[in-house]
Amino acid sequence: MAIKRRKFLFTSALSAILSVAVAACAGGGGTADSGARRLVMATSADYPPYQFVDSSGGTQEIVGFDIEIAQHITGELGYELEIQNIDFNSLIPALQANRADFVMAGMTPTEERQQNVDFSQIYYEARNTIVSRQGSGLTTPESLAGKSVGVQLGSTQEQAARDLEGLDIKPLNRINEMIQELKAGRIEAIIMEDTVAAGFLASNPDLEAHDIPNMGEAGSAIAFPRGSELREEFNPVLQEMIDSGMMDELVTKWFGDDSPAADELAN
Ligand code: ARG
């Protein structure tokens, strides 16, 4: 009898410890001092003006259009926000492993990704464009045949490049790497989004861009682990940002001529 009772005490002590541990790990976040649950957002901060590392002022803060949207939504819902900067290709795996509560990374809700994660509505549109050195003549998808073309690993642009056939595709992890490879002549073109190309072009007069009409899926949405309840919480706040005109203001701020991203790119 005594032995049985001790075992019972041991098991309930153990399960108490376990439930504390589980609470601390829930959602990859946990509870911060304020008592608000902290959500972990994963991103690839190589994508100005959506998200990039602001090195002005000596800090290495991640800022941008997506970041402001994330701060607004999590703030409205009473969450704290933690941002993790990882390679684009690792973002979906991070959601699948529940290492992140959501992803904002200028990410397009493709059919293929929808097999693995859930998406909010689209909050911003973009198109694919060919970036090359001035005077290269690489202005159409056909002109890329036989050329070495940089694309971000795991991006919709990588898929678009594969659909074209006959390209010598060079998948790279980070957008600035691709720009450096192009400027150094190690690749001949990049397929990337017009919204991001614009900033790099403004600070690199040796490059030019040509939009590719109707190529592949486009636009940005917030990604969540499959079945996450956060999507239902986030969507109305996102809709409210669109309806109230706040989204338009953020678009003007980050994609307009005086974008805070311009300074960073000029460095
Ligand atoms: N929209 C494209 C995609 O979803 C490219 C996004 C790249 N984002 C980034 N943070 N590098 O595949």
Q: Kindly list the structural domains of the chain, giving each domain's residue range(s) and its CATH number in brackets, ordered by start.
A: 28-124+219-266 (3.40.190.10), 128-212 (3.40.190.10)
- How far apart are the CA of 220 and the centre of ligand 1, in A? 8
Task: Write out pLDDT tens, residues 141-152.
Answer: 999 999 999 999
Q: What is the pTM of this model?
A: 0.86
The ligand 1 atom at the shortest distance from the C-alpha of residue 155 is 12
Is residue 11 very low, low, confident or very high in pLDDT (cuts 50, 70, 90)?
very low
Task: Write out pLDDT tens, residues 137-180.
Answer: 999 999 999 999 999 999 999 999 999 989 999 999 999 999 99
Pocket of ligand 1 (CB under 6 A): 44, 46-47, 88, 105-108, 152, 155-156, 175, 193
The CB-side HSE value for 57 (13 A sphere, CA atoms) comes to 8
Atom 11 of ligand 1, nearest CA residue: 47
DSSP letter for each residue of 88-152 = GGGHHHHHHTTS-SEE-SS----HHHHTTEEEEEEEE---EEEEEETT----SSGGGTTSEEEEE
Distance between CA atoms of 11 and 171, rounded to whole angstroms? 52
Find tokens 């309930």 and name the residue. 12
Which of the listed residues 47, 84, 107 should we mutate to test ligand 1's pocket, taking the one with most ligand atoms within 8 A of CB? 107
Distance between CA atoms of 10 and 107, rounded to whole angstroms? 48
